[in-house]
Amino acid sequence: MGYQLEDGGSTLTQWSEDLIPIERARTLDGLFYHRVRRSPNRVAYRHFDRSADVWREWTWAEVGALVARWRAALAQEQVGPGDRVGVLLRNCPEWVVFDQAALSLGLVTVPFYTDDRADSAAYIVGDAAIKVLLVQDASRWGRISAALGESPYPIRVVVSESGKEAERLAREDPRVVLAADWVPREGPDLKHRDGDPNGLATIVYTSGTTGRAKGVMLSHRNLLSNAHASLTMVDCYQEDMFLSFLPLSHTLERTAGYYLPMLAGAAVAFARSIPQLGDDLQQIRPTGLFAVPRVFERIYRRLLDQVNGRPVPVRWMFWLAVRAGWLDFERAQGRRGWHPLLLLWPFLRRKVAAPVLAKLGGRLRITVSGGAPLPRDVAHLFIGLGLPLLQGYGLTETSPVVSVNRLEDNDPESVGLPLRGLEVRVGRDDELLIRGPSVMLGYWNNHAATAQMIDANGWLHSGDQARIRNGHIYITGRIKDILVLSNGEKVPPADMEMAIALDPLFEQVLVVGEGRSHLSALVVLSADLWPGLALEYGLDPEREQSLDDPRLHKDMLRRIREALRDFPGYAKIRRVTLSLEPWSVDNGLLTPTLKVKRREVLGRYAEQVERMYAGEA
């Protein structure tokens, strides 16, 4: 089928569907095989060639030929069906090629985050008994190798990027080989494997906000059913171009930004880096992308900084455009009637909103935020400017998408409607329970954790509190993160932390108060803004003691109070601890998906927390 839609410019583009039924694909490598046969000459991927300083395109036929060569290389190693192989690469065509080559041999792919700590990566190598590991460069392997010690795994290490250090390692370590030498220059034709859809396809290690990461076992059927069900909520066409910048080790990007476009025959461009994301958006001009709230929050902050620096009439017109656009959105959703301000929306959209969206490429027709809650103010601004922004929800254990809003039924306060084929209900303690074909097989080597997560009736316990209204799911808190004050009042801190962190001065925030009489906050200040702020108070920005200045604390509490002005009465922060040291993956306070490890942060700042409650009755 085909029809015409606006592409964000002055021309009309033909959009057509070309979905591969999952019954035909059966497995993820089966999906790739059928896509190559069906669309050999269509563009599959775009990737920036750093050596030539140009963007290059790969057709499905070209990727298929490369997969066949990598398959031949893998087949020569000591691996067999069910063995685990690891991939530690930035997003690039080779990530897909290695994954597909492995899957076509019945191997199990284990993704690694490129910025994960060496000890975490070493733990995964040992726990999953990784036999072949593809790494980005020699330095990354060097760090992991040191952490592995005498481990017998991996048996083979393939280094993607050549260089003097990589060549030295290949000479001195019999396990190490350069990809350029390992992959044959020619290979057989791409072969079709009649694999088991219920067979294990991947082990994805969770972020591990508490304790060691657990290996989530996902089958071909888990991932295929999730990608296909997502397509019933979000249309995808052959002519679509997705921009991939979330790590492919993140299950949202892997399912929605890799397998889903492959089902639909759409193309994917791999972003160069987060700092270059703005340039990539304007060069690639994607029609769709998937992101986490942190990305939208950063753009939101930058946009507000720019707007606040403009003359009053410009600021007034900007916020008038946001209000008019929001009214237009609400009217289109059937939630309100006509308003006189709608008469100005065509003009404001053209003069104010369109130039802002042009910075995002100007062609986005679908944008999905998932992985964490999207702050209300952020959603309101982008939707008000006309960005088709949908919030979704998922877990690695559900492959990962559980729900997503639809363009025609979009409630930004919710995380959307459940995917077709998934059952959801609210259980004890308002916990969201999920059952269906995309629920994981279990945790690798951890039957006890599996039994805790999935009950005897097949319901997966999400750990998230929720309510369901008119079919939409609303996440209200995290069971383990709920703070219970000494008076028995229960406080969900996540929304408060998001609201406070929207202030450009506050880089990271953790609300504390478990078992206490009131709430306090640990706050990491922006390193860029701190010197100017310190000078305003006559403080030395180089002295750590400056962060304890009573006048500074009073003003920070005022800013926090302003950020929480729309919250209920329980949201009162009475004490604050200020810091300049960011919480990061390297210092063990963030997971690779940039989620705060609450327990570790509280442990690191235990003394400061006690000082905030000194003298408490």
Confidence at residue 617, expressed as pLDDT on a 0 to 100 scale: 45
Give CATH superfamily name and number for 29-195+232-289. ANL, N-terminal domain (3.40.50.12780)
Q: What CA–CA distances, in Å, run from 518 to 153, 476, 552, 560, 613? A: 50, 21, 20, 15, 9
Domain with CATH 3.30.300.30 in the chain: 482-612
For 88-118, write each residue's pLDDT tens digit: 999 999 999 999 999 999 999 999 999 888 9
% of the chain beyond a pLDDT of 90: 81
For 398-454, write each residue's pLDDT tens digit: 999 999 999 999 999 999 999 999 999 999 989 999 999 999 999 999 999 999 999
Nearest Cα to Cα of residue 461 among 481, 447, 440 = 440
For 26-82, write each residue's pLDDT tens digit: 999 999 999 999 999 999 999 999 989 999 999 999 999 999 999 999 999 999 999
**H-only helix segments in 128-182:** 138-148, 164-172, 179-182
Pair of tokens at residue 338: 């006509």
Could you give the CA distance from residue 368 to residue 424 in angstroms, rounded to a whole number?
A: 21
For 236-257, write each residue's pLDDT tens digit: 999 999 999 999 999 999 999 9
Collect all residues with Cβ–Cβ distance below 8 Å to 358 and sequence separation of at least 6.
282
In DSSP notation, 517-544 reads SSEEEEEEEPTTTHHHHHHHTT--TT-G
For 304-355, write each residue's pLDDT tens digit: 999 999 999 999 999 999 999 999 999 999 999 999 999 999 999 999 999 9
Q: Are 485 and 516 a contacting pair, CB within 8 Å?
A: yes
Confidence at residue 287, expressed as pLDDT on a 0 to 100 scale: 97
Domain with CATH 3.40.50.12780 in the chain: 29-195+232-289
Give yes or no for residue 208 having a pLDDT over 60: no
Give yes or no for residue 561 having a pLDDT over 50: yes
pLDDT band for position 1 (cuts 50, 70, 90): very low
Could you give the CA distance from residue 368 to residue 391 in angstroms, rounded to a whole number?
A: 6
Q: Which CATH class is domain 482-612?
A: alpha beta
Task: State mean pLDDT over 512-531.
Answer: 92
Could you give the CA distance from residue 390 to residue 403 in angstroms, rounded to a whole number?
A: 11
Q: Any long-range contacts for 317-323 (C-beta under 8 Å, 24+ apart)?
A: 317/348, 317/351, 317/352, 318/352, 320/344, 320/348, 320/352, 321/345, 321/348, 321/349, 321/351, 321/352, 321/353, 321/384, 321/385, 322/380, 322/381, 322/384, 322/385, 323/384
Confidence at residue 516, expressed as pLDDT on a 0 to 100 scale: 85
How do beta strands 483-484 and 490-491 pair? antiparallel
**Hey, how many other C-beta atoms are within 10 angstroms of the C-beta on 314?**
12
**Candidate from 128-137, 278-287, 435-444, 483-492 with smallest mean pLDDT:** 483-492
Helix (H) / strand (E) containing 582 = none
Confidence at residue 211, expressed as pLDDT on a 0 to 100 scale: 61
Collect all residues with Cβ–Cβ distance below 8 Å to 379 and sequence separation of at least 6.
369, 389, 391, 412
Could you give the CA distance from residue 559 to residue 565 in angstroms, rounded to a whole number?
A: 10
% of the chain beyond a pLDDT of 70: 96
Residue 107 burial (10 A CB sphere; 0-12, 13-18, 19+): buried
**CA angle at 490 for the pair 484 and 496, rounded to the nearest 5°:** 100
Q: What CA–CA distances, in Å, run from 487 to 122, 254, 614? A: 44, 44, 18
Collect all residues with Cβ–Cβ distance below 8 Å to 343 and sequence separation of at least 6.
none
Largest CA distance in the chain: 76
Confidence at residue 294, expressed as pLDDT on a 0 to 100 scale: 83
E strands, 154-264, where?
A: 156-159, 176-178, 200-205, 215-219, 241-244
Would you call the peptide bond into 188 cis, given omega within 30 degrees of 0 as the criterion? no
Give yes or no for residue 3 having a pLDDT over 50: no
Confidence at residue 13, expressed as pLDDT on a 0 to 100 scale: 67
Confidence at residue 108, expressed as pLDDT on a 0 to 100 scale: 98
Confidence at residue 10, expressed as pLDDT on a 0 to 100 scale: 39
pTM: 0.86
Q: Which amino acid is at 558?
A: R
Q: What CA–CA distances, in Å, run from 461 to 219, 431, 434, 591? A: 19, 7, 7, 21
Helix (H) / strand (E) containing 46 = strand 43-49
**Hey, how many other C-beta atoms are within 10 angstroms of the C-beta on 11?**
8
Q: Looking at per-residue confidence, does 386 or 8 come out higher?
A: 386
First to last CA, the chain: 70
Confidence at residue 101, expressed as pLDDT on a 0 to 100 scale: 98
- What torsion, rounded to 10 degrees, do the Cα atoms 581, 582, 585, 591 define? 130
Nearest Cα to Cα of residue 133 among 77, 91, 180 = 77
Could you give the CA distance from residue 489 to residue 482 in angstroms, rounded to a whole number?
A: 10
Based on DSSP, count helices (H) and strands (E) in the chain, helices before strands: 23, 28
pLDDT band for position 8 (cuts 50, 70, 90): very low
Confidence at residue 437, expressed as pLDDT on a 0 to 100 scale: 98
For 370-394, write each residue's pLDDT tens digit: 988 888 999 999 999 999 999 999 9
Q: Looking at per-residue confidence, does 569 or 452 come out higher?
A: 452
pLDDT band for position 615 (cuts 50, 70, 90): low
Give yes or no for residue 4 having a pLDDT over 50: no
Tell me if residue 14 falls in helix, strand or coil: strand
List the beta bridge partners of residue 512: 520
Tell me if residue 39 falls in helix, strand or coil: coil
Across the chain, mean pLDDT equals 93
Could you give the CA distance from residue 388 to residue 288 in angstroms, rounded to a whole number?
A: 10
